[in-house]
Amino acid sequence: MDPERWAGWMRHGPVELVKSPECQENLRSLRGLYIDCGAKGQYSLVYGARAFVKALQEAGIEHRYEEFDDDHTAVDYRQDVSFPYLYHALTA
C-alpha cells in the first residue's frame, strides 16, 4: 500500500469529512440524516457506519442510525423503517 495515496484517500473519507466545519454545517442543514447497515454484512460496512455515526455524535449532528441483525442481501424490509422516517423528515 502506498502511504501517500492512502492518506489522500482518508482525507476524503466520510469520517474525516465530518470533522470539517463546512461539512458539519451542510449536514446540520439536512431535514433528516438516516444511516443503516447490517451487522453481519459480507462487506464489513458496519465498521465504517459505526465510525461515521460516532463522528456525527461527537460533532453533535442529529441523525438516525439503525443496525440490523442481517447482511447485505434481502434488505427490503428495512424500508419499513427508513421510508417513514424520511417521509416525515421531508414533509415536516
Q: Where are the domains of the chain?
A: 3-91
Q: Is 24 exposed, middle or buried (0-12, 13-18, 19+ CB in 10 A)?
A: middle
User: pTM, whole model, 2 decimals?
Assistant: 0.90
- Angle 15-16-19 (CA atoms, 0-180°, nearest 5)? 100
pLDDT, one tens digit for every residue, the chain (92 residues): 899 999 998 899 999 999 999 999 999 999 999 999 999 999 999 999 999 999 999 999 999 999 999 998 999 999 999 999 999 999 99
